[in-house]
Every structure is written in C-alpha cells, then in structure tokens.
Amino acid sequence: MRISVFRKAHFNAGHRIFNPAWTDEQNFKVFGKCSNPHFHGHNYELIVRVSGEVDPETGFLIDLKHLKAIIEENIIERYDHKNLNAEVPPFDKIPPTSEYICFEIWKILRQILPEKYDLSVRLFESARNFVEYPSLG
Amino acid sequence: MRISVFRKAHFNAGHRIFNPAWTDEQNFKVFGKCSNPHFHGHNYELIVRVSGEVDPETGFLIDLKHLKAIIEENIIERYDHKNLNAEVPPFDKIPPTSEYICFEIWKILRQILPEKYDLSVRLFESARNFVEYPSLG
Amino acid sequence: MRISVFRKAHFNAGHRIFNPAWTDEQNFKVFGKCSNPHFHGHNYELIVRVSGEVDPETGFLIDLKHLKAIIEENIIERYDHKNLNAEVPPFDKIPPTSEYICFEIWKILRQILPEKYDLSVRLFESARNFVEYPSLG
Amino acid sequence: MRISVFRKAHFNAGHRIFNPAWTDEQNFKVFGKCSNPHFHGHNYELIVRVSGEVDPETGFLIDLKHLKAIIEENIIERYDHKNLNAEVPPFDKIPPTSEYICFEIWKILRQILPEKYDLSVRLFESARNFVEYPSLG
Amino acid sequence: MRISVFRKAHFNAGHRIFNPAWTDEQNFKVFGKCSNPHFHGHNYELIVRVSGEVDPETGFLIDLKHLKAIIEENIIERYDHKNLNAEVPPFDKIPPTSEYICFEIWKILRQILPEKYDLSVRLFESARNFVEYPSLG
Amino acid sequence: MRISVFRKAHFNAGHRIFNPAWTDEQNFKVFGKCSNPHFHGHNYELIVRVSGEVDPETGFLIDLKHLKAIIEENIIERYDHKNLNAEVPPFDKIPPTSEYICFEIWKILRQILPEKYDLSVRLFESARNFVEYPSLG
C-alpha cells in the first residue's frame, strides 16, 4: 500500500539572482531586475512529499508531527528571515534560483529521512512560479 | 490521447486517531492530542483524479456531472457530518488517519468506476497536511 | 493615523450544534445533521482585527509577534483538538454555533488587549460559511 | 539533475459545449445546460509544467520571463476574452471541453518549446473541475 | 449582540460589456475587448453578508441552510450557465458590469430577506477584480 | 448608488525592519530577526478599494483597466524587486513596517485619484499578517 504524505511550510527570505563567477554586466544581462544588488525577497512556500508504505498499526506513513519538526529544524531555521546570498551557503557561490534552492532543500532532507522513504520537494517563489525536484513528470 | 480529469469535493467529519487494539496509554503516547477521547474534527478536501482516453465525439474523459454524482452519493453522504470512529466502518477497528481514510475512499470509488479508468485520490486534512493514494511519485 | 492590523490563525475542533435546554427532537428539528450526537468537526480559521493609532517610532500598531502569542496562548490552546461541547465552557450550556464561538473568542481577547485598541473577529467554519463579531457592516 | 518548472497564467473565455456534427437535441441530451446556445463562460487557470536539466551556470531550467512571454503571446492573446466556438479554431468543429482545450494548448506550446524539454499542461475550468494533458498519473 | 454571517456561492456566466443605447464604436471605445460581440465569460464568486441580532436560543443570526437555499433558488438558478445580455434582464438594457450585476443581486435578495437584517453583497469577477454593494467603506 | 470596486496587485521586495534613529541593539531588541542587517523579503499582495457613485451610462465606478494602470505605474514600478530601505524613500528614514508601507501607498494613490473617490488600501505581508489604511473598522 504505497502512499504519499505531504507537508506544507513557508519561510521569508531575501536574495538576488547573481552568479559570482560573472561580471555585473553579465548578471544584469541574464537576470535583469532579479539581480538588483540591493536584494529583494519572497515568501517561499514549500511542499515536502514523502512516499512509501503505511505502517499497518499506526495507519501512518510517517508521523506528521515528526516530519513538521524535521522541516522546522533543518529548513525553516536555516532559511527564514535570511539573505540567501550572504548568509546561506552554497548561495555565496551559486545563484539562489528556485531550482537550486529546491535542490538544496531536497539534499538536506534526503540526508535526514530514512532510506525507505522517497522524497520530492516543491518550492513556490510566488503563486505563479514554482519548481519541483526531483521532477515527477 | 491519455488525459486526467480532476474533481474536488469536501466533507466535515469528527474523529480521534485511536487504535482499538491498543491501551489508552499506547494511543496517547503515539497519537498525542489527536487521540483526545472527546473527538475533534476537520473540513476534509478531496481531489479525485480519473485518467484514461478521451471519447473523441464528446471530448470528455468522463462526464463531470456523472463523476460529481458518484462522489456525492458514495463518499460525501457516507462521511459528511459523521464521527468516523463511531459511525463509519472500518474506523471502528482501524485508526482514521488521513492515509487510511484516503485508501478507503479509493477502494469505494475503484469498485464503482469502470475498469478502463485509472484512479488516484488526494485527501487534505488541512491546507498543510495531505495524502495521495495510490502515490504517483 | 488610524490603521487596522490583522492576524490569521487556525484550530481544529469537534462539536455538535445542540441546545441542552431542548429535547433531542427539538435539536434535530432545528439543527438537522449538525446536531449528530456523535459529533463532527471543522478546521476553523480565525482572523483577528486590531485597530488604533500607529506608534510613530516603531511603525507598529501592535507587535505581531505579541498578538500572535496572545492568540496562541488564549485561543488556540483552549480550542485546538478539543470537543467544544464537552471540553470548552460555555458550550456545555449554549450551542457552539459559529456566531457564539466568535463572540466567545472576542470576549477573551477583549479582556487581554489594552483598551486603546478596537477589536473585531472573523471566524470561518468553512471557506463558504463565516461570521464577524462585532459586525463592521 | 532533472527538475520541473511551473508557470501559472489565466484567461477568460466564453463557450458552449457543442458538437456541430450532432443535432441540437443530441447536444442538449449529452451536455445539458453546458450546451446553452447563448454561451456562458469561465475564468480559466492554466499551469504549464516544463521539465528537463538545469543549466549549471544560470541555475535555470528555463528563464521564467521567457516562458511567461511564450504563454502570453501564444495562448493568452489567442484565448482571452474570446468566444471559443466562434473565434478560436478548431472549436468551430469540435466541442470546447476542458480536455480538448488543454490538448490544443499543449500542441501549441509543444511546437514552440525546444525538444529537450518535456511539457505537461493543467487547465482549471473552475476550482473544482480541472484536467491535465499529458496525464502524469 | 450585532453580528454578520457570510455565505459564499458561485456561478458561471457569459457576457459582453455593452450599452445598447450606444453605437458599436462607442462601446468598443469605452469597453475595449470586454465588448467583444461574440461574448466571453467568468466564474463569478459571490459573498452575501447578512447582519443583525443573534437569536439567543439557536445561537444563529440566520440558519445558513436557509440562506444557502435562498441564494441557490434566486441567484444561482437565475445566473448560472446563462448569457447575461441575452437571457437575464435588465442586462438586455444596461451593461452587465460587475457593479450592476452586484446591485441586481442585492435587490433580489433584499426583497426576500426579512427587514430586520442588513445586507451587503461582494461579487468577484476574478480573483483580482471585485465589487461590494452597498459599500461598507 | 454607492459602491466599492477592488483591484488586487502584488510586488516582491526586500527589507529589514530598522529605525535609523536607533542603535543596532535597540533595533534588534524591538524588531528581532526582522531587523537582520542582510535583509530578507516578501511577496506583498495589495488590495486597493475605491468607493463612490456608479456612472449610470457605463455601469462603472472606475474603469478597472485605468485603475490597474495607475497601480502598475505608481506602485508596482516603484516597489517591485526593490530593497525598500535602500531604494524607496522614505524608508531610508522610517522603518518599512507593513503599516508604514500601506500608508505610503495610500498617500501616492490619494494624490492621483480624483477627489470624488474614497480610497482604502490593504497590504498583505503574508497570508497571515496584513494591514488596512485607513481602517474601516
């Protein structure tokens, strides 16, 4: 009985889309106003999807209180009210695009969750722009 | 031309997360305040996904008026304004977790829908906690 | 410079609409399936509106961290995962309709908030049914 | 590093569900009030999903400004504030059901997007009724 | 104890913004693509606000099952899946703008609701454009 | 026939809650992590409410295309993808709290809108925290 369980969370962060290996001109040409050196920010919404087999006794795939605490301690405390470029590695070295932020969040959670679970993460930069890693489609 | 059609519905129900094979202490240890013997409840949101081939003449995969009626008669009438533990089997015997409720809803709809359709169900216990059976990811 | 500040919160609770001064027949006649003796429940959403003058130095009407804590400690801890009829007075004596729940929440917050603030509360029993006390319209 | 990027858009359109190869009676029998000859309409919401490999230098799968412009120029300008049956082929010949509209939108975008990307489209006729082509489930 | 109770409903309709007392040129000049003679449409969302004194015995301002039925029978049946200009007077004579539709809905409900209740209506043409009559602000 | 018309818009911006007249210690003591010197940010949602008399010929209070353009040119272009403290006066001198941002937006729009209209603005810093100026409650 394979099932998925989802938990939604959110954090607010500042960033600029900026590749430190490039000149400012290259950054502005590719990233436009998103590379504004003064930074802007977003209310990020996060949906963590965990898949696997339900425990027949508890009727849980994973205890959501536990999953909520994992996300809170490892993702929200790390990202919330932070400037991603200045305070959250590896975004001092690579651009904090939604794609890369989503991938970093997945890597952190993947190390913590037991191997028996599959994991996929959706990250909403806004209600109109969002990403999913790994892609299920 | 394989396509999916989705229909959203909702019901309100009372429950407690409780395994009748366990002692009250075990239930409280595992399920915490969700096992409150006085019951609490939720506004459940349901998204039913039906997949298959479009009928070339009608341009429909399935008539949504028909799907809406199936959900209304078989799920909403059974679950809405009910206490799941006390009034909706098999939740007298197994804990009414979102995982098990979702699985029961899928089993009921699976028996009614013609075999040519694939079926998957998402159940939202709240905007932040939801499940999908069978898992597509 | 009069302004309003809003804080949204939520809780899950069980209830039945039931007036203990009436017979079961009267209750069923007036309240229908909402008076189901086995209880059902809702995800309640709450919007607290506080109005008054902005502090010119902080630029705050009220510190939202403070307002959030007041709501958490006085409302959410009291109502969340509770059976309102059985566990939360005065709903042992009066029917826990949205109107009366909203009024009770307002009374609790009114006693705590300093007098210089005006207060109004919206309570959503579902996305389609909600109430506001005191009414601003 | 395979990822999906999503972009949401919307348009308003008029339509009637009508198969011109049938008599009016057949249309009314199958489609009911949706075949009203005077037309009705919807606020359609569209979610375009593009999947593939992230560019390691930009951290983008696809520049969302570019994807937004593609959707605007090829879908929104074609469908927004239009009567689908009267003004947007092939809906003079086939019924403008959500299934067929979604499929047409996919065909238009598929021709424009580079082959390296996979593409799937969700179309919401309302918050309760929506479709996905090609189906990922 | 003055309170407001809200009930949300929706309908889908077709229209064009068109004043029959004007020439087509005048209509196009003022209303632009919204005056498209082939009609387009919307998913309208409606929030009905009823205000007054709570009945101390029931704890209700108004029975929401009753209010829901009033809206269904008098508004939804009249507007849903209709072409407003062609099928719903007075929109054969005046432009079906959100302002005028909202005003008409208010007039219909005002005649039905007992005088002891105050009434205000919000009509959403889309998530971004909406109106309220009578204005409370 | 007094009515209100609402238009929703959004912008993304970076900020820190910081009063330059205070020491860093005072700022941190009052504003906590919101005063992080590296800046964070939000997706701000804005609802502009305009009230007055409907024009009987057009059926409009105000042409929403016109109101949308006013908001776009005067608010969105000024605030979107900006660091409020560093780039948008007067937030170099006063803390960019939601209260003060809302008040500034109101002042800008008030100067542009004809006097016959009343105006009120709601600003959402997140789905849970928002403000309204001038307060209607």
| pLDDT tens-digit series, residues C36-45 | 999 999 999 9
Residues 6+ apart with CB under 8 A from C59: F17, F19, F94, F95, F96, F97, F99, F100
Q: Summarize chain F as % helix, strand, coil (round to 5).
A: 35, 30, 35
List, by residue number, the catalytic residues of A: 34, 81, 125
E41 touches chain D (CB under 8 A): yes
* Predicted confidence band of residue E137 (pLDDT cuts 50, 70, 90): confident
For residue C70, count CB atoms less than 10 angstroms from its CB and return exposed for 0-12, middle for 13-18, buried for 19 or more. middle
- Closest by Cβ to C81, choosing from B33, B81, B86: B33
Interface test with D, best of B50, B51, B58, B133 (most D CBs within 10 A): B58
Q: Which of residues 94-133 of B touch D (CB under 8 A)?
A: 118, 120
Confidence of residue C136 (pLDDT cuts 50, 70, 90): very high
Work out the mean pLDDT of chain F and round it to a whole number. Answer: 97
Mean pLDDT of chain A: 97
Average pLDDT of the residues in E90-106: 98
Q: What is the pLDDT of residue D137?
A: 85
> What is the distance in angstroms between the Cα of C103 and the nearest Cα belonging to chain E?
9
Task: Please indicate if any CB of chain B lies within 8 Å of the CB of C87.
Answer: yes
Which residue among B31, B128, B137 places its CB closest to the CB of A120?
B137
Answer for the pair F62, F117: CB distance below 8 angstroms, yes or no.
yes
Q: Is A109 helix (H, G, I), strand (E, B) or coil?
A: helix
Mean pLDDT of C6-34: 96
- Residues 6+ away with beta carbon under 8 Å from C72: C9
Using the predicted structure, report yes or no on whether residue C20 has a pLDDT greater than 90. Answer: yes
Type of residue numbered F116:
K
Residue A61: how many CA atoms within 13 Å on its side-chain side? 32
For range F81-108, the mean pLDDT = 97
CA angle F26, F32, F38 (to 5 degrees): 95
Q: Give yes or no for a cis peptide into E90 (omega within 30° of 0).
A: yes
Go through chain B and tell me how many residues it has: 137
- Please state the length of chain D: 137
Q: Which of D17, D30, D99 sits opposite B3 (nearest CB)?
A: D99
DSSP class of A33: G
pLDDT at A1 over 90: no
- Give the per-residue pLDDT at A137: 85
Chain C residue with minimal CA distance to F121? C3
Contacts of A41 in chain F (CB under 8 A): 12-15, 39-42
Phi, psi of E131 (to 5 degrees): -135, 165
The size of the A-F interface in CB pairs under 8 A is: 73
Residues of F with a catalytic annotation lie at 34, 81, 125
Contact A99 D54 (CB under 8 A): yes
For residue A63, the chain B residues in CB contact (below 8 A) are: 30
Give the pLDDT score at C1. Answer: 85
Q: C77: which chain B residues are within 8 Å (Cβ-Cβ)?
A: none
Q: How far is CA E27 from CA B86, C63, E20, E22, F66, in A?
A: 62, 50, 9, 6, 16
Q: Please check the confidence at residue C133 and state whether its pLDDT lies above 90.
A: yes
Upstream peptide bond of C134 is cis (omega within 30 degrees of 0): yes
Burial-class residue F29 by CB neighbours within 10 Å (0-12, 13-18, 19+): exposed
Which of F97, F103, F105 best tests the C interface by mutation, with the highest count of C CBs <10 A? F97
**Closest Cα partner for A103 from A55, A81, A135?**
A135
Question: How close B84 comes to chain D (CA, Å)?
Answer: 25
Torsions phi, psi of A85, nearest 5? Answer: -60, -40
**Mean pLDDT, residues C6-24:** 96
* HSE (side-chain half, CA atoms, 13 Å) at A129: 20
Q: Which of A51, A58, A59 sits opposite B135 (nearest CB)?
A: A51
Candidates E92, E128, E105, E94; CA nearest to E49 is: E105
Packed helices A98-112 and A64-71: angle between N→C axes, nearest 10 degrees: 130
The topology (CATH level 3) of B12-40+63-128 is: Tetrahydropterin Synthase; Chain A (3.30.479)
Chain E contact for F61, CB < 8 A?
A: yes
Question: Rounded to an integer, what distance in angstroms lies between the CA atom of residue B85 and that of residue B14?
Answer: 8
B8 touches chain C (CB under 8 A): no
* Other CB atoms within 10 Å distance of the CB of residue B117: 18
F5 and E99 in contact by Cβ < 8 A?
A: yes
How far apart are the two ends of chain A, measured CA to CA in Å?
Answer: 22
Distance CA E42, CA D39 (A): 11
Q: How many CA atoms lie within 13 A of D5 on its CB side?
A: 24
Q: Which chains touch C (3 or more CB pairs under 8 A)?
A: B, E, F
pLDDT attached to residue F19: 96
D71 touches chain A (CB under 8 A): no
D123: its two tokens: 């179309």
Share of chain E above pLDDT 90, in %: 99
Q: Which residue type occupies C84?
A: L
Contact criterion met (CB < 8 Å) for B57 and D136: no
Q: How confident is the model at residue B134, as a pLDDT? A: 97
**The residue type at C96:** P
Contact status of D3 with chain B (Cβ, < 8 Å): no
Residue corresponding to tokens 């609409």? C17
Closest CA to D4 of B129, A127, A15, A123: A123
Cβ contact D–F (≥3 pairs, < 8 Å): no
Closest of D119, F87, D64, E43 to residue A39, by C-alpha: F87
Q: How many CB pairs under 8 A join A and B?
A: 65
Cβ–Cβ under 8 Å, residues F75 and F46: yes
Q: What is the pLDDT of residue D1?
A: 85
Token reading at F28: 């941190």
Looking at the complex, does the CB of residue B51 fall below 8 Å from at least one CB of chain A?
Answer: no
The verdict on E13 touching D (C-beta cutoff 8 Å) is yes
**pLDDT one-digit tens code per residue, E109-131:** 999 999 999 999 999 999 999 99
pLDDT of residue F84: 97
Active site residue C104: no
CB–CB contact B41 C126 (8 Å) = no
Q: Dig out the tokens for B29 from the structure.
A: 């240890």
Q: Tell me what the pLDDT averaged over chain E comes to.
A: 97
Q: Does A44 have pLDDT greater than 90?
A: yes
What mean pLDDT is predicted for residues E17-30? 96
In the three-class reduction of DSSP (H, G, I as helix; E, B as strand; rest coil), residue C30 is classed as helix
pLDDT, position E52 = 98
Residues C61, C114: Cα–Cα separation, whole Å:
12
pLDDT tens digit string along D29-74? Answer: 999 999 999 999 999 999 999 999 999 999 999 999 999 999 999 9
The pair phi, psi for residue B31, each rounded to 5°, is: -105, -10
Cα F57 to chain centroid, rounded: 32
Contacts of D117 (CB under 8 A, 6+ apart): D50, D51, D52, D61, D62
Mean of the per-residue pLDDT values for chain C?
A: 97
Cβ distance D4 to A128 less than 8 Å, yes or no, reads no
pLDDT in tens, F14-66: 999 999 999 999 999 999 999 999 999 999 999 999 999 999 999 999 999 99
Tokens representing C97? 């309709």
The complex scores an ipTM of: 0.95
| Cross-chain residue pair C97–E49, CB shorter than 8 Å | no
Task: Tell me how far CA of residue F106 lies from CA of C2, C3, F109, in angstroms.
Answer: 13, 12, 5
D58 and A30 within 8 Å at the Cβ level: the answer is yes
pTM for the whole thing?
0.96
Do residues B21 and B35 touch, judged by C-beta distance below 8 A?
no
Q: Do the Cβ atoms of F38 and A83 come within 8 Å?
A: yes
pLDDT tens per residue across all 137 residues of chain B: 899 999 999 999 999 999 999 999 999 999 999 999 999 999 999 999 999 999 999 999 999 999 999 999 999 999 999 999 999 999 999 999 999 999 999 999 999 999 999 999 999 999 999 999 999 98
Chains F and A touch (3+ CB pairs under 8 A): yes
Question: d(Cα E74, Cα E120) in Å, to the nearest integer?
Answer: 16
What's the CA dihedral at E18, E20, E25, E30 to 10 degrees?
Answer: -40
The pairing of strands E82-83 and E129-133 is: unpaired
- Residue in A42, A86, A127 nearest the CB of F42: A42
Q: Is pLDDT at F9 greater than 90 in this prediction?
A: yes
pLDDT of C137 higher than 90: no
pLDDT tens per residue across span D77-114:
999 999 999 999 999 999 999 999 999 999 999 999 99
pLDDT-derived band at F75, boundaries 50, 70, 90: very high
φ, ψ of residue D97 to 5 degrees: the values are: -75, 160
Q: Is C2 within 8 Å of F94 when comparing Cβ atoms?
A: no
Structure tokens at A48: 């963590």
Q: Which pLDDT score, from 0 to 100, does residue B1 have?
A: 85
DSSP B79-122: HTTEEHHHHSTTTTTS---HHHHHHHHHHHHHHHS-TTSEEEEE
Pick left, alpha or beta for residue D52 (phi over 0 → left; psi -120 to 50 → alpha; otherwise beta). Answer: left
pLDDT at E11 over 90: yes
